[in-house]
Chain A
Amino acid sequence: MLASAYSVSNGMEPSTRTLSPSVTGGSILGIMFEGGVLLAGDRLGAYGGLHRFRDIDRIIKVNDNVLITYTGDVADFQYIEEILEDEQRENDMRNDGYELGPSEYFNLMGRIMYNRRSKGNPLWNRIIVAGYDKAADKPFMGQIDSKGTVFESHLIGTGFGGFLVHPLMERELEKIDGRPTKEQATQILERALKVLYYRDKTTYNKWSIGTTEKSGSSIEASRELATNWQIAKLIVGYE
């Protein structure tokens, strides 16, 4: 227990667990294609409604086969980032030919998130792990939330991305038989990002796009979407 500066005459100490997030990261979109995964999220750290930090990295490259990103509290993810870095560093130091792939990191994060939930002090994040699983020779993507719920999916959308844009992407994917090609996935993602930016006021027009494939992972740090706000006039009720 922390040495308390509060006088505890009634025997109750203040709650020291996270009660609400502070600076937050917004929606994330993830789409699996034939041979890899695309991730996209804006570069915004919002302070409630304020667009406070407009140039933060929300997609991190853990190693050549794993990209991890998040929605939710930025500080909590920075803590997670340290854990991930330590894990990767230890693996690199061993240098014994064994690599940690996306499913290993997915499992690890699942355990950590569930453990925090069980202690009643959750990490206020929704984590997306994406990568290329060398052992199974196929792409991987999964989500872990602050309750420790885990699942794998070929299509992920969190926050507004989940509500609005996930169904849109799904409808596009249904038109394709099997997994889309990288080009098809890119097109679907770009349209989805545009819709997300137009419709979700908490997004900021600076995006990170992460790609992970058998050959490796990369992050395009900062992209701006071309927008045409003239279409606003077509919206009924817009002045």
Chain B
Amino acid sequence: MFRNQYDSSTTTWSPQGRIHQIEYAMEAVKQGSATVGVKSKTHAVLVALKRAQNELSAHQQKCLRIAPHCGMSMAGLTADGRGLTNFMRTEALNYEMVYGSDMPVARLVDVVGSKLQTPTQIYYRRPFGVGLLIAGYDKQGPHIYQTCPSANYYSCKAMSIGSRSQSARTYLEKFLDDLEGCSKNDLVKHGLMALRETLPTDQELTEHNVTVCIVGENQKYAEYNNEETKQFLDLLDSTKKPARERAQADDAAPAEEPAAEEPAAMEE
């Protein structure tokens, strides 16, 4: 999208009925590294690709626990994501204190949605520059929710957001019907295979750049990093994007990659 005279403020409509600042905020999500969420009848799983700024730094954390029954992963401005998580943790904790039971995930996402909406309609504020995938388990079963800087939120059977996430979504669409009946490990495997689709040609899934989070029936939110991810990576036939897709991507690559690679101001 190109600059125009209607894009300097979040309180300015364009003649086409768009608010460009919100759309620009959604671009920030697309710059972040990919994350995938999938659910079966009994579990909800998040997998995320962690980026490291440089060789000296650790891979940046993408997933956070909200409550024993839900967690999230993010793409975009992780600082914004952390602020939102803090808010969600307070809300979930408050609900548990008052009612003695887990906050329904739908209601948690609803209050986050309201919080996201506020800065899209006030002059001196900016939209949150982060998209969240929220995975949770409550009386109504497992849930995957996606939130946007636009303050829209969507309940999903499976979803992927972040850089090159369309490839993951294509994978998920193909296997959508298989997900419901999956075992926990098969579900993680599908998540990782979807995530694998988002890799650039020179990268592979390693125990350092992958996070796996699982929540569900008789399973409190559990997060797996570093050595702990080995058990899930071992389920895959390969940690690299399948060769056929790689060759195609190589042909198509040059135009796409620079835009997606390490923008300086953006963390991950």
A interface vs B, CB < 8 Å?
Answer: 94, 96-98, 100, 103-104, 106-108, 111, 135
Is there a chain A Cβ closer than 8 Å to B97's Cβ? yes
- Knowing A96-B107, A98-B107 touch, does A106 contact B140 (C-beta < 8 A)? no
Is there a chain A Cβ closer than 8 Å to B37's Cβ? no
Contact B107 A108 (CB under 8 A): no
Q: Report the minimum CB–CB distance from B110 to chain A (whole Å).
A: 8
Main secondary structure of the interface of B (DSSP, over half): mixed
Cα-based distance from A104 to B100 in the complex (angstroms)? 6
Cα-based distance from A60 to B98 in the complex (angstroms)? 21
A-B contact count (CB 8 A): 29
Contact B98 A107 (CB under 8 A): yes
Per-position binary interface string of chain B over residues 114-142, scored 1 when its CB falls under 8 Å from any chain A CB and 0 otherwise: 00000000000000000000000011100
Is there a chain A Cβ closer than 8 Å to B106's Cβ? yes
- Which positions 59-98 of chain B face chain A at CB distance < 8 Å? 97-98
Cα-based distance from A97 to B138 in the complex (angstroms)? 12
Is there a chain A Cβ closer than 8 Å to B185's Cβ? no
Chain B interface: which size bin? 10 to 19
- Knowing A97-B140, A98-B140, A135-B139 touch, does A103 contact B101 (C-beta < 8 A)? yes
Query: Which residues from B are CB-within-8-Å of A96?
Result: 104, 106-107
Query: Which residues from B are CB-within-8-Å of A100?
Result: 99
Residue in B97, B100, B138, B140 whose Cβ sees the most chain A Cβ within 10 Å: B100
Cα-based distance from A122 to B192 in the complex (angstroms)? 56
Query: Which residues from A are CB-within-8-Å of B107?
Result: 94, 96, 98
Main secondary structure of the interface of A (DSSP, over half): helix
- Knowing A97-B140, A98-B139 touch, does A104 contact B101 (C-beta < 8 A)? yes
A-B pairs, top 4 by smallest CB distance, nearest first, are: A107-B100, A104-B99, A98-B104, A107-B99
- Which positions 212-227 of chain B face chain A at CB distance < 8 Å? none
B interface vs A, CB < 8 Å?
Answer: 97-101, 104, 106-107, 138-140
Cα-based distance from A111 to B97 in the complex (angstroms)? 8
Closest partner residue, chain A, to B104 (CB atom) = A98
Query: Which residues from A are CB-within-8-Å of B139?
Result: 98, 135
Closest partner residue, chain B, to A101 (CB atom) = B101
Cα-based distance from A98 to B101 in the complex (angstroms)? 12
Cα-based distance from A135 to B97 in the complex (angstroms)? 18
Question: Would you list 24 pairs from A and B whose C-beta atoms are within 8 A, ordered by A residue?
Answer: A94-B107, A96-B104, A96-B107, A97-B106, A98-B104, A98-B106, A98-B107, A98-B138, A98-B139, A98-B140, A100-B99, A103-B100, A103-B101, A104-B99, A104-B100, A104-B101, A106-B100, A107-B98, A107-B101, A108-B98, A108-B99, A111-B97, A135-B101, A135-B139
Closest partner residue, chain B, to A107 (CB atom) = B100
Closest partner residue, chain A, to B106 (CB atom) = A96
Cα-based distance from A107 to B103 in the complex (angstroms)? 14
Closest partner residue, chain A, to B138 (CB atom) = A98
Closest partner residue, chain B, to A106 (CB atom) = B100
Query: Which residues from A are CB-within-8-Å of B99?
Result: 100, 104, 107-108
Cα-based distance from A196 to B167 in the complex (angstroms)? 73
Closest partner residue, chain B, to A110 (CB atom) = B100
Q: Report the minimum CB–CB distance from A47 to chain B (whole Å).
A: 34
Cα-based distance from A135 to B106 in the complex (angstroms)? 17
Query: Which residues from A are CB-within-8-Å of B98?
Result: 107-108, 111
Query: Which residues from A are CB-within-8-Å of B104?
Result: 96, 98
Query: Which residues from B are CB-within-8-Å of A111?
Result: 97-98
Closest partner residue, chain B, to A111 (CB atom) = B98
Given A94-B107, A135-B101, 19 other A-B residues pairs in contact with their CB atoms under 8 A: A96-B104, A96-B106, A98-B106, A98-B107, A98-B138, A98-B139, A98-B140, A103-B100, A103-B101, A104-B99, A104-B101, A107-B98, A107-B99, A107-B100, A107-B101, A108-B99, A111-B97, A111-B98, A135-B139
